[in-house]
Chain A
Amino acid sequence: MKYRWGIWLSLVFGMLLLVSFVASAQLPAGISREETLVVDQLTGRVGMPNNFNLWAGWRNQDRGIQQLLLEPLWTVDYATGEIISGMAAGLPVYNDDFTQMTINLREGCTWSDGVPVTADDVIFTIDIHINTQGLLYHGPMVQYVEKVSKIDDLTVVVDLKIPNSRFHTHFLDRWGCLRIMPKHIFENVEDQLTYEYNPPVGNGPYVLFDYDPAGFWTLWERREDWDKTPTGKLFGEPQPKYVLFQWFESEEGKILSQLRHEIDMAQHTPEGLRAVLDKSDAARGWRRDWPWVVNIDPCITGIMFNNLVPPYDNKEVRWALTLAIDIVDYMAIAFDLMAPVSNLHLPPVPAYLEAFFIPMQDWLKDFELNLGNGETFKPYDPDVPNRIVEAAKERGYPIPDDPAKIQELFGIGWWKYAPDVAEKLLKKNGFTKGEDGKWLLPDGSPWKINLLSDPSPTHHQLKNANAAAEQWRKFGIDASAGPTEAFNTLVLNGEFDVSTQWPAAEPWGAGVDLSRTFDPWHSRLLTPIGEPVALGPGGAARWCNPVLDEIIEKLEKTDPFAAVEETVELGIEALKVLVEEMPTIPTYGYCGAVAWDETYWVNWPGAENPYSQPYHHWPNLKYMLPLLKKK
């Protein structure tokens, strides 16, 4: 009997060892780890692993399609503040009245099957979008393009139906744009919408090598003729021979994988990042020290009001709610003080600090709110970063003494915590307090705020919702966070009072053109509740203003490349309108918790050497790869 048990146990252990050791390593057969960069995929398991046709719908483009396979005409880099001309040889050239845009293409580039990239590809792409309803950029191409033609094989001229000095932005990659299609592939396709584009032919430095039919990973191989791609011509040879994009369903799995040095680049939750940095002997964050996270992301988080719904259609109510927030306390709840605050509807990235935040300081300090009865109040508080420093020191975090560093870490200022002023503003507008100290609406009913939010606890939207609810509860409002899976539907249709949708559309992050942020607030895009808005971020606030309309229209007639000073001035004027009206409350710049492993690759674009934007899911990854170094 004893022997029988022994045999069984030996068999079980034998199988265990066999299964665990004989089988392959973590990479597909024949792929060397030393030559491979492994990154995690941001947007989830690929739903359609066989389909690479991102012109026809959502295809998890961050599985390498936008980073490695395709090179757009232009790409934004918010770390350097530059626009990188990739497939184009330079920035677009407009005629005087912005009815014509000329694109000059880079010479000597080929598609991955060896066919030269020419003006015909650009013309085909625009024409097929005009003619095919269902392609994602069908709408803007039909709306703006009168005719597209070529002067020669490397020069394209787009004639526009109406003046538009920002038409090029449809081709400017900032995590999405209209990328140029290989004409010789797509011209033979019968149905552009159902075509799978597999295997894909691209103009980027990598080609598809393999993928998981279940959608967990995609593997790319460097092109032998990488020197015939814009990346090769601009930055040289991409260092990794292979790049693997891998999705982990659980944060824990991703953390463990990085601790095993199986992922080189990963984006975690802040808690996940701490776990990796704490346990790994080879991992680093974007900053080598606290607060580690990427705080130059060109995206602003905060609180959004539905400006068509009372009492949020009243700017004094919106301002009262702003002044009821103690931003230091708020930041401690929302993000453990790790993000830079922003009182403007812009992320405090380097380009915008210089062009907008710093030049507006005097105006902000003088800006006054009218409290009635001749009383005014100056709400701006440039001392907020110092107060955050004190709070961070109390938590034991290492804080630099250099004021410039403090500004870089915590922002440049926010609004004062002034619940007494908030109370005056509310009482001025008919609000009262009940016997229990809770606020009542002007009609005498209890004031309840449900902050509609994305349900993910790691999302900045829920972090903002929890922090705002806490602040407003302290102020005497019955406020709570309202996470829901139907967040997108409700926000787009305006079925909410207050939410934590992005308070302003993300600006480009480079240059001084803020049109992307302001455009969704033009009155021509205002839609009634029940109809979807043109752009959720910013736009879902359903707010417009005649002065802002004028500024937007002036910006449309201003060349963002040739008339930089004028573009900045108009941007500042628009930001002043937003401060006065406060249609949404910006709180802090989005932060990404990126961890890099230095076992196989080094020279990451960290805070000490930000030669490129740092995310692996951004299209700019291709421009980072030539600068990585093997350890």
Chain B
Amino acid sequence: MRFFRDYLVPRIIQYIVVIFCGITAVFFIPRLTGQNPVLEMIAQIQSQGSTLDPTAVESLMETLKELYGLKGTLFQQYITTWKRVFALDFGPSFFQFPTPVSELLKTYLPWTIGLFATSTLISWILGNILGGIAGYFSRKNWSKIIDALIMIIRPIPHYIFGIIVLILFAYVWQLFPVGGMMLGRRTVLNWRFIMTILRYSFLPAMTLVILGGAVWFQQMKLLVQNVKREDYVQYAQTGGVKERFIIYRYVLRNAMLPQITQLALVLGQVFSGVLIVEMVFSYPGIGLLLYRGVTRGDYNLVMGITVLSILTITTAVLILDLFYPLFDPRIRHK
């Protein structure tokens, strides 16, 4: 009973409040940017050279407001937004009208999940293993060399690193394509399809794995160096416990806890995508979709992506909070 009152209920209340505040902010912030999606669309139409009569402009504005669901007061729009959130239907994208936002998410999200989730998991595993071993053997020369390399790589921005990778692998050695996945609409699941995806995803994935892995490496190395100094580790060493056993059972397991929390939070970032990497490699993902939505005042699209992001991250954190006592006996004890 105490678990429900002191642990579960506060966290669920916190969960609901965060979602409410997040969605409210996402509703208002795009409307404060000064961009009007109806006028953005009219400017796009005018770019085709048509001078419209003022009455025609007025009529077009009314039509677009109607189609976009932007009629009514701000409060009415806010209520409509909540109805849409509960129905998980975010209406049509303004700039890609009449395509529903849900349709766009269905098209682009799998690409980002495929790239981001895979590369994040690979970088997490590699970074933690290498970082853990390098942290434990931090006095060895090979550990110092790896550490120095990581120190050089880690501060490189994604854009610069991506361009370097692109120049080396796509231009100098010409091993991989520059961009533009040639799959087409008549794709079938076969060997060619798999190889094409691998071929076009390799460089963006490599960029994310190396840069992401460098971060995990450094974090894990520091954690392990701290854990290594704990009494129980020293005691085990003095007691003649096998080193491999100490590393895997005592040091890495204890150092892993904050890394697991961090992984859950990082995976939630899938919705903001890996914008820069998507740009450099012309990779079809949700980061670019969100970017276009923001720059063009596409409220529905921004709302759709960010609401999913809020729901996913908050739910991930809630689940983590609920399961954390299983991983960490100290919390269970409290």
Contact of B238 with A by CB under 8 A: no
Interface size on A, residues (CB 8 A): 83
If A23-B195, A140-B50, A532-B57 touch, whether A212 touches B96 (CB-CB below 8 Å) is: no
Name B199's closest neighbour in chain A (CB-CB). Answer: A23
Among A23, A27, A134, A489, contact of B35 (Cβ-Cβ < 8 Å): A489
A16-B175, A247-B180 are known; give 7 further A-B pairs, CB within 8 A. Answer: A136-B45, A215-B284, A486-B33, A488-B40, A520-B51, A525-B54, A536-B46
Cβ contact within 8 Å between A214 and B40: no
**A135–chain B nearest beta-carbon distance, Å:** 10
**B51–chain A nearest beta-carbon distance, Å:** 4
Within A123-181, which residues are at the interface with B (CB < 8 Å)?
Answer: 133-134, 136-140, 142-143, 170, 174-177
**B315–chain A nearest beta-carbon distance, Å:** 28
**B319–chain A nearest beta-carbon distance, Å:** 31
Name B183's closest neighbour in chain A (CB-CB). Answer: A212
Question: Size class of B's contact patch?
Answer: 35 or more
Cβ contact within 8 Å between B44 and A134: no
If A24-B192, A214-B181 touch, whether A250 touches B33 (CB-CB below 8 Å) is: no
Contact of A365 with B by CB under 8 A: no
Name B34's closest neighbour in chain A (CB-CB). Answer: A486
Name A214's closest neighbour in chain B (CB-CB). Answer: B284
Contact of A67 with B by CB under 8 A: no
List chain A residues, Cβ under 8 A from B63. Answer: 133-134
**B116–chain A nearest beta-carbon distance, Å:** 15
Kindly supply a per-residue 1/0 record for chain A positions 547-586, scoring 1 wherever the CB is within 8 Å of any chain B CB and 0 otherwise: 0000000000000000000000000000000000000000
Contact of B25 with A by CB under 8 A: no
Cβ contact within 8 Å between A260 and B282: no
Within B87-104, which residues are at the interface with A (CB < 8 Å)?
Answer: 93, 95-99, 104
Task: State the CA gap A436–B50 with chains docked (Å).
Answer: 47
Binds B, one of A43-51, A427-435, A462-470, A605-613: A43-51
Pairs A–B under 8 Å by Cβ, sample size 11: A22-B195, A47-B99, A140-B50, A214-B284, A216-B180, A249-B278, A249-B282, A260-B174, A488-B35, A520-B51, A532-B57
If A19-B198, A249-B288, A536-B43 touch, whether A210 touches B186 (CB-CB below 8 Å) is: yes
Cβ contact within 8 Å between B56 and A19: no
Name B186's closest neighbour in chain A (CB-CB). Answer: A210
Binds B, one of A251-259, A349-357, A367-375, A387-395: A251-259
Cβ contact within 8 Å between B51 and A519: yes
Among B46, B49, B163, B179, contact of A257 (Cβ-Cβ < 8 Å): B179
**B235–chain A nearest beta-carbon distance, Å:** 30
If A133-B63, A249-B279 touch, whether A535 touches B284 (CB-CB below 8 Å) is: no
Kindly supply a per-residue 1/0 record for chain B positions 268-283, scoring 1 wherever the CB is within 8 Å of any chain A CB and 0 otherwise: 0000000000111111
List chain B residues, Cβ under 8 A from A537. Answer: 46
List chain A residues, Cβ under 8 A from B182. Answer: 24, 26-28, 212, 217
Name A488's closest neighbour in chain B (CB-CB). Answer: B43
List chain B residues, Cβ under 8 A from A18. Answer: 195
Task: State the CA gap A137–B60 with chains docked (Å).
Answer: 10
List chain A residues, Cβ under 8 A from B34. Answer: 484, 486, 489-490, 495
If A139-B60, A217-B180, A256-B171 touch, whether A174 touches B49 (CB-CB below 8 Å) is: yes
Cβ contact within 8 Å between B51 and A58: no
List chain B residues, Cβ under 8 A from A359. Answer: none
Task: State the CA gap A61–B50 with chains docked (Å).
Answer: 15
List chain A residues, Cβ under 8 A from B108. Answer: 214
List chain A residues, Cβ under 8 A from B170. Answer: 256, 260
Contact of B202 with A by CB under 8 A: yes
List chain A residues, Cβ under 8 A from B41. Answer: 57-58
Contact of A262 with B by CB under 8 A: yes
Among A260, A492, A520, A527, contact of B171 (Cβ-Cβ < 8 Å): A260
Contact of A29 with B by CB under 8 A: yes
Contact of A418 with B by CB under 8 A: no
Contact of B166 with A by CB under 8 A: yes
Tell me if A's interface is mostly helix, strand, loop or mixed. Answer: loop
**A134–chain B nearest beta-carbon distance, Å:** 5
Cβ contact within 8 Å between B171 and A259: yes
**A559–chain B nearest beta-carbon distance, Å:** 20
Cβ contact within 8 Å between B281 and A253: yes
Task: State the CA gap A457–B97 with chains docked (Å).
Answer: 28
Task: State the CA gap A211–B284 with chains docked (Å).
Answer: 14
List chain B residues, Cβ under 8 A from A214. Answer: 107-108, 111, 181, 284
Cβ contact within 8 Å between A253 and B179: yes
Task: State the CA gap A140–B56 with chains docked (Å).
Answer: 8
List chain B residues, Cβ under 8 A from A250. Answer: 163, 179, 279-280, 282
- The residue among B41, B49, B53, B56 with the most chain A CB atoms within 10 A of its own CB is B49
Name B43's closest neighbour in chain A (CB-CB). Answer: A488
Cβ contact within 8 Å between A139 and B33: no
**B119–chain A nearest beta-carbon distance, Å:** 15
Contact of B156 with A by CB under 8 A: no
Name A193's closest neighbour in chain B (CB-CB). Answer: B98
Contact of A20 with B by CB under 8 A: yes
Kindly supply a per-residue 1/0 record for chain B positions 182-217, scoring 1 wherever the CB is within 8 Å of any chain A CB and 0 otherwise: 111110000010011011001000000000000000
Among A248, A493, A505, A527, contact of B180 (Cβ-Cβ < 8 Å): A248
Task: State the CA gap A168–B146 with chains docked (Å).
Answer: 71
List chain A residues, Cβ under 8 A from B294. Answer: 485
If A248-B178, A256-B167 touch, whether A534 touches B52 (CB-CB below 8 Å) is: yes
List chain A residues, Cβ under 8 A from B219. Answer: none
Kindly supply a per-residue 1/0 record for chain B positions 52-93, scoring 1 wherever the CB is within 8 Å of any chain A CB and 0 otherwise: 111111011101000100000000000000000000000001
- The residue among B42, B43, B183, B284 with the most chain A CB atoms within 10 A of its own CB is B43
Contact of A246 with B by CB under 8 A: yes
**B175–chain A nearest beta-carbon distance, Å:** 4
If A194-B98, A488-B43 touch, whether A176 touches B48 (CB-CB below 8 Å) is: yes
Cβ contact within 8 Å between A493 and B39: yes
Contact of B176 with A by CB under 8 A: yes
List chain A residues, Cβ under 8 A from B132. Answer: none
List chain A residues, Cβ under 8 A from B309. Answer: none
If A24-B196, A249-B288, A252-B163 touch, whether A516 touches B49 (CB-CB below 8 Å) is: yes
Task: State the CA gap A47–B183 with chains docked (Å).
Answer: 17
Within A454-486, which residues are at the interface with B (CB < 8 Å)?
Answer: 484-486
Contact of B36 with A by CB under 8 A: yes
